[in-house]
Amino acid sequence: MGFAGEEREEGVMATDFFWSYTDEPHASRRRQILSQYPQIKELFGPDPYACLKISVVVILQLWTATYLYNASWLKILAVSYFFGSFLNHNLFLAIHELSHNLAFSTPVYNRWLGIFANLPVGVPMSVTFQKYHLEHHRFQGYDGIDMDLPSLTEAHLVTNAIAKSVWVIFQLFFYALRPLFLKPKPPGVWEFTNLTVQLALDAALVYFFGWKSFAYLILSTFVGGGMHPMAGHFISEHYVFNPEQETYSYYGPLNLMTWSVGYHNEHHDFPRIPGSKLYKVKEIAPEYYDTLDSYSSWSQVIYMYVMDRTVGPFSRMKRKLADMREKKSE
């Protein structure tokens, strides 16, 4: 794998991304694994229990919001961080699962379930997320296409531990707003459907139970996506701590609450396999994953990201779109 910009002065943060002049590693590894272990194809397809799991979390979170309609703000904040944040982050990753059509064989059913899973999040995002996330898989690391990559503005502003801490706390805002500024897509019927359903739920919650119930949902989303153990996956997945590797897996207990998104190398290798079965990929083909760097703690990843002076938003692998076009024309 060829890189540019990996020579880093010890103790000094990078001033450019890692630039790769080879294809992303997942497509080639997928072909190698399938040629050796064709039985992995038997894992492809929807999770039959996805709808049930999502429904339980949605109902529990909405009930909690109504229960807290008259609670003190301190209690709402505490419940948001220690309980609601886990539920809403679970739903965010359920939406990720649905973006790959892993609940139903019929795509439109997954889209409707995604809008339903979106309800406790408080702001509409499921339909838009799918558009950008599938591009992240198809064009991993490509400059101007993969909106999972930090912007140059973020990279130039986030240059020390304090700035990185603020960035982590507000990283959901960066993820949500970055595509709107760098690569806006015109909204379609499904975006308006997502917006209408979400606003109807939000309005009904405020009308019948008051602003505190709605605030609980928003706080659960905000704190769950910031300085929170589950939010460590945002950093662990593709931030480069080893110049020879651009995707990292996490094999810790929080996979039980996050649709096994921690199995991230396995997920990018086989995006058609639901999270509930990703562990089987590693069991079937361990030699492809045991040699890769991985994590056992998302909290530790956040700490490493904030405290390591050499790591920041520039610690991502990038590819030039022109290189891809040249390879296709050869």
CA–CA separation, 218 and 201 (whole Å): 13
Report the b/e string of 120-133 with b at 16+ CB within 10 A: bbbebbbbbbbbbb
> What is the number of structural domains in the chain?
1
pLDDT value of residue 300: 97
Which residue in the block uniquely carries the two structure tokens 């990038």?
Answer: 318
Confidence of residue 325 (pLDDT cuts 50, 70, 90): low
pLDDT value of residue 242: 87
Confidence of residue 16 (pLDDT cuts 50, 70, 90): very high
Token pair, residue 290, equals: 């045991």
pLDDT value of residue 224: 96
Q: How would you class 159 by CB atoms within 10 Å of its CB: exposed for 0-12, middle for 13-18, buried for 19 or more?
A: middle
pTM (predicted TM-score): 0.93
| Percentage of residues in the chain having pLDDT higher than 90 | 90
Per DSSP bridges, beta strands 3-4 and 18-20 are: antiparallel
Domain limits for position 324: 3-329
What would the pLDDT profile of 94-112 be if each residue is shown by its tens digit?
999 999 999 999 999 999 9
Mean pLDDT of 243-268: 97
Give the DSSP per-residue string, 195-259.
HHHHHHHHHHHHHHH-HHHHHHHHHHHHHHTSSSGGGHHHHHTT--SSTT-S--EE-SGGGGGTT
With a cut of 70, say whether residue 323 has pLDDT above it.
no
Residue type for 153, please? T
Residue type for 243, please? P
How many other C-beta atoms can be found within 10 angstroms of the C-beta atom of residue 216? 30
Q: At what angle do helices 85-99 and 50-67 cross, to 10 degrees?
A: 150
- Helix (H) / strand (E) element for 64: namely helix 50-67
With a cut of 70, say whether residue 201 has pLDDT above it.
yes
Residue 302 in contact with residue 3, Cβ under 8 Å? no
CA–CA separation, 29 and 48 (whole Å): 27
Q: What is the mean pLDDT of the chain?
A: 93
pLDDT value of residue 95: 98
What's the chain's Rg over C-alpha atoms? 20
Give the DSSP per-residue string, 10-26.
TT---SS-EEE-S--HH
Per DSSP bridges, beta strands 18-20 and 317-318 are: parallel
How far, in whole angstroms, is CA 264 from its chain's centroid?
A: 10
pLDDT value of residue 15: 87
Return the bridge partners of 4, or none: 19
Mean pLDDT of 40-53: 98
Confidence of residue 326 (pLDDT cuts 50, 70, 90): low
- Helix (H) / strand (E) element for 67: namely helix 50-67
Report the b/e string of 259-296 with b at 16+ CB within 10 A: bbbbbbbbbbbbbebbbbbbebbbeebeebbeeeebbe
With a cut of 90, say whether residue 141 has pLDDT above it.
yes
Confidence of residue 324 (pLDDT cuts 50, 70, 90): low
Confidence of residue 14 (pLDDT cuts 50, 70, 90): confident
CA–CA separation, 216 and 154 (whole Å): 29
Confidence of residue 114 (pLDDT cuts 50, 70, 90): very high
pLDDT value of residue 6: 43
CA distances from 253 to 8, 256, 262, 299 (A): 33, 6, 10, 12
Confidence of residue 134 (pLDDT cuts 50, 70, 90): very high
